[in-house]
Structure 1
């Protein structure tokens, strides 16, 4: 199944999950899995959140930033892949002066 992000309108989300500034998002969601192409503007963050019924894989397509993961911090750049399993917490941060573009996959696991 082809998911054509270029054919989707980008939705601008202010303070995504309680984060700073704005994020752009193109998403496919069939109820079992979300597949998203996201964009964090310079200085923007996705707020710290816990994956209770799902997990998340984030692959960096362009730009750089970092992720707070549980009690640690990981540096991200093009080609980096971050995994947040069910029951863990993370926050994505664009601390650079360019957009951070990423692919995120969020499969549902149930309660």
Structure 2
């Protein structure tokens, strides 16, 4: 299935998962799987700590840098990194840099 960026409306999600500021994202959902085809955290924004009890999540950092907090450990992330949160894992994505953090994410429910 081809999913085109221009076919998906941009959503602005305030305090996403309890995070700071807002997440700007183009989200595709087919009723089972969720794909953030392109998402952006402005400087100082974050996705709050949350647990993937029913699914895993894969995040690809496309531009910028920031931090991920997973299972109590904070690690720096940058463009080119791939992040994997297994089913049952917890994580938070933080833009603690001076430029936008752009990424795509896949949350498969199958």
* TM class, shorter-length: over 0.9
Would you say the 8 A contact 1:66–1:74 is kept in 2?
A: yes
Give me the whole-angstrom Cα distance separating, in 2, the residues matched to 1:44 and 1:54: 24
5+ residue gaps in structure 2? none
Give me the whole-angstrom Cα distance separating, in 2, the residues matched to 1:73 and 1:107: 25
When the two chains are superposed, the root-mean-square deviation of aligned CA atoms in Å is: 1.0
Aligned residues: 109
Would you say the 8 A contact 1:5–1:27 is kept in 2?
A: no
Would you say the 8 A contact 1:19–1:47 is kept in 2?
A: yes
Deviations 1:41-71 (Å, cap 9, x if unpaired)? 1100000000010110000010110100112
5+ residue gaps in structure 1? none
Give me the whole-angstrom Cα distance separating, in 2, the residues matched to 1:4 and 1:43: 29
Give me the whole-angstrom Cα distance separating, in 2, the residues matched to 1:94 and 1:38: 12
Would you say the 8 A contact 1:39–1:101 is kept in 2?
A: yes
State the match for 1:86 in structure 2: 87
- Which consecutive aligned stretches of 4+ in structure 1 deviate over 6 angstroms post-superposition? none
State the match for 2:20 in structure 1: 20
